[in-house]
Structure formats: C-alpha cells, structure tokens
Amino acid sequence: MENVHSNISPDLFVPVKKAGNDALQSIQRPTVTYWQDARGRLFKNKIAMCAGIFIVLVTLAAFFIPPVLDYDYEVQEVWNKHALPNAGLVAVVSVNETYTPKTTTRKQDSALTDVPNAPAGFKIVGVPTTKQIVLEWDEVPGADGYRIYRSITDGTLGVPLADVPVTSLSFRDSAGLEAKEEYFYVVTAFNSMGDSSSSSTIKVQPKLVLGLEDAKKFDPSAEPGKEIKTRPHFLGTDYLGRDTLARLLVGTRISLSIGFIAPFIFVFIGIVYGCVSGYFGGMIDNIMMRFADIIVTIPNLLVLIMLQVAMGSGPVTLVIALVIADWAAVSQQVRGEILRIREMEFVHAAELLGTSFWKLIFRHLLPNVMGTVLVLFSIAIPRVIFAEAFLSFIGLGIAPPLPSLGSVTREGAAVMSTYPVQLLIPALLLSMTVLAFNLFGDGMRDALDPKQRGTR
C-alpha cells in the first residue's frame, strides 16, 4: 500500500511559539462594570434607541413649546370652530353697516296662474362676510312670492331659508355663516298654484368678520373696516374653537407627568415594602404579603370612583388611585428578588459586621435589585399613561377643561364622522407614545439582564 504521507515535507511544519506568562494571564475582553455593560447593550439596540429619542422629543415639545405659543389651550374662538389647519385667517373688523332692503310697490295677484319667470339680476350686494350676506334680484311679474335656498353643495337647492313676500326684492342671510365654507344661493319665484322657476346659482365664500374688541387681541392697531390676520392654528381647532396643537401639547404634558409621577411613587413604596417583607421573612412576611394580595384584588375603577366621590376629579385623585392600585404588585416582585439575595454571603457578612437594617437594605440589597426596579419602572410608565387615557376617555380621569391625551381623544371621537382628523391626531400620538415607552422598556429589560449578553 502506498504511503499517503510520503509527500509531506518537514518544511511544512512551523514550531509553535510558547506564550509567556503575561499573555496567558491577560484578560482578552475589556473590563467593564455591570452598568457599563448594560449601557453598551442598550445603545446597540437600535429600536430601543429610536424609541428613546422619540420619547425625549415628545417630552421636550410637551414641556417647552406651550409657553412659547402666543395663545392658551383654554382660549375659545367661537367664530372659528372645527377649523382646518391654517397659518391664520384674514378677517375684517366689523363696521356699523346700514342695510336698506330693496322693495317694490306691486301687490300679490292670486288670479295669475302662469308659471312665473326665473328671477333675473340675482346678485350679491356689498362684501359678503360671516356677519351678513345680502342678496338682491329683479322683480318677476306674476310671482306671488320668492323663496331663498342655501346649500353647501353645488347643483342642489339645499335648505330653504325663508319665503319673501312679493313686495321684497332682497334678503339678508346671517344664519351660521362660516369663513371656511362655500355657500350656493338660489332664489325661486312661485305663484299661488305652487309653480316656481329658479334663478341661476351664486357661489359665495364670506370673509371672516370680527368685533373691534376681538380684533384688538390679534392686532392692537385694528380699526373698523380694516383687515387683520388671526392667529395660526397648525392643527386646526376643536368644537369650541380651541387650538388643537396647544391642547395636544398640554394634554401630553399632563399625561406624561402622571405617567412619571405615579410609577415613581408606587415603585418606591413597593421597593420599601418588598424589601422589609423579604428580608424579615416568617410571620412578618406572611402578614405583609397577605395584605398585598388583598390590595391587588381590589378593582382599579372601584378605587378611582371612591376617591372621586371623596376628593373630586383631577390629576391628584388619579395619581393617588393609580398608586393604591399598583404598589402591591411591585412589592411582590421586589420581595421575590430579596428572598433570593438574602441568603448570599455578602449579606451575612454585613450582618456580622453589625450593619444597621436600613443601611443593609439601601446599600447592599437594593443595589442588587436595581435592574429589576428599573425594568418595573420603565414598563409601568406606558401602562399608567394608557390607564390615564382610558379613564379620561370614559369620563373618570382628567376633568374638562384640563386636557389630556384621553380627553382630547374623547372630544375627537364625538365628531369622528364629520371631522376625523380631530380623532386621528390625538389617537396616533397616544399610540406612538405608549409604543415608544414599551419598546424602550423592552430594551432596558434586555440590557439589564446579564443572560442577554451577546444576543444583540
């Protein structure tokens, strides 16, 4: 049999260099602390970082933009309800105009049964404004009266505004005129038999007219008859003429404040309660945990309703209700971590050295459960924000006129069929905010778990 190794030359082999003691004992991976390692894993999580950037931007906008705006979230512009997003409207300062109706001396003749001709000379008199639109037309022989129609759709008669006697050849419309709408007017001449003929259609978009007192809020130099520009509404206005952007920003600030304050309080209470229960154990642990179990079983809505009866609606009531409802669940999770750490050697060593109870808790036990605490806090924030939004949506949370994401969404839902944007914008902001907090909380949970090292 041929030797398969006969072609191997000794030149192909290279002696292995023996590593020195320094190389063998050197640490190949850089030395990092637990928190440095967690921070590095969090920064590598692109989804969590994008969510964190969104949270920072929303928080900065909610707390710093409202003071810069030149209007308050409570200011009502009753003449500007359900406005579309705009950079300001051109308005005319009201003047005392005298309106002289056009009339004729011809009387009604019921004997004429021929179909009257269509009114000719149908026109707008003066400048059409939201205060009044004056219509005039020529006399129609054989007519027993005239009927005025107004529509917001071209090609249809729309709603009959009034029946005008045959002696009148003009009409003054001042019913619910809005600057952002286009109106289509038609006048018909009818006889005693009910036969009628319609004029041509006139399209009118009235100019916004404001009183001098209201106009001076936008332009101190406003004078009667002068044109001014109103404030911009970049997201439009609601059903009371309040700025949607201002209410959204203030509502986000209130929702975020509740979302941070309530979890901070009930997580702190849960930490202290869970640490005491888990450290002492035995009968004390049993009594404290049975009490926590009772608190967990109480429905949140029942707690909130009872507090509202006693304290009234408001952010403080909502925070207290959320704290009462959620601290027990946090204490149970912290207690489980303390039971695990309590039997470790460093805890026994601290006890033997005479370390006081509270120093043992805050210096030795609590730092070792801080990862769990931060995860609980980050996950509790979106849950509290959503709970506040839900309670405000059903009328048990923030009371009007104070806005929140839930109350602004509820106001938009009331006009969803006609003004869907007023529902979509706050609902989208609420959804994205809660989603961002959830994604960031998941990223923190993965970063603070040593088992996740190297998975991202």
Q: What percent of the chain has pLDDT over 70?
A: 88
Distance CA 148, CA 159 (A): 8
Q: Which residue has the higher pLDDT, 17 or 167?
A: 167
Band (pLDDT 50/70/90 cuts) for residue 448 is confident
Alpha-carbon distance 180 to 207, whole Å? 8
Given a cut of 50, whether residue 113 has pLDDT beyond it is: yes
Task: Judge whether residue 23 has pLDDT over 70.
Answer: no
CA distance 207 to 136: 19
Task: Give residue 2's pLDDT band: very low, low, confident or very high (50, 70, 90).
Answer: low
What is the mean predicted confidence (pLDDT) over 28-34?
67
* 364 close to 355: Cβ distance less than 8 angstroms: yes
Q: Is the pLDDT of residue 20 over 60?
A: no
Q: Is the separation of the CB atoms in 385 and 434 below 8 Å?
A: yes
pTM: 0.75
What the block records as the tokens of 225 is: 């008859």
Per-residue pLDDT, averaged over 403-411, amounts to 91
Half-sphere exposure of 126 (CA within 13 A, CB side): 21
Domain spans, the chain: 52-71+240-452, 91-209
Domain 91-209: assigned CATH number: 2.60.40.10
Closest CA to 128 of 186, 164, 178, 162: 178
Please count the other Cβ atoms lying within 10 Å of the Cβ belonging to residue 386: 20
The confidence score (pLDDT) of residue 343 equals 79
In 3D, which of 186, 191, 149 has the Cα closest to residue 166?
Answer: 191
Give residue 247's pLDDT band: very low, low, confident or very high (50, 70, 90): very high
Higher-pLDDT residue of 157 and 427 is 427
What pLDDT, on a 0 to 100 scale, did the predictor assign at position 107?
A: 62
pLDDT band at 456 (very low <50, low <70, confident <90, very high): very low
Q: Would you tell me which CATH number, out of the four given (1.10.10.60, 1.10.3720.10, 2.60.40.10, 3.90.1150.10), belongs to the domain 52-71+240-452? A: 1.10.3720.10
Question: 3-class SS at 202?
Answer: strand
**Residue the block writes with tokens 């839930």:** 406
Amino acid symbol at 129: T
CB contact at 8 A, 91 and 223: no
For residue 436, pLDDT beyond 90: yes
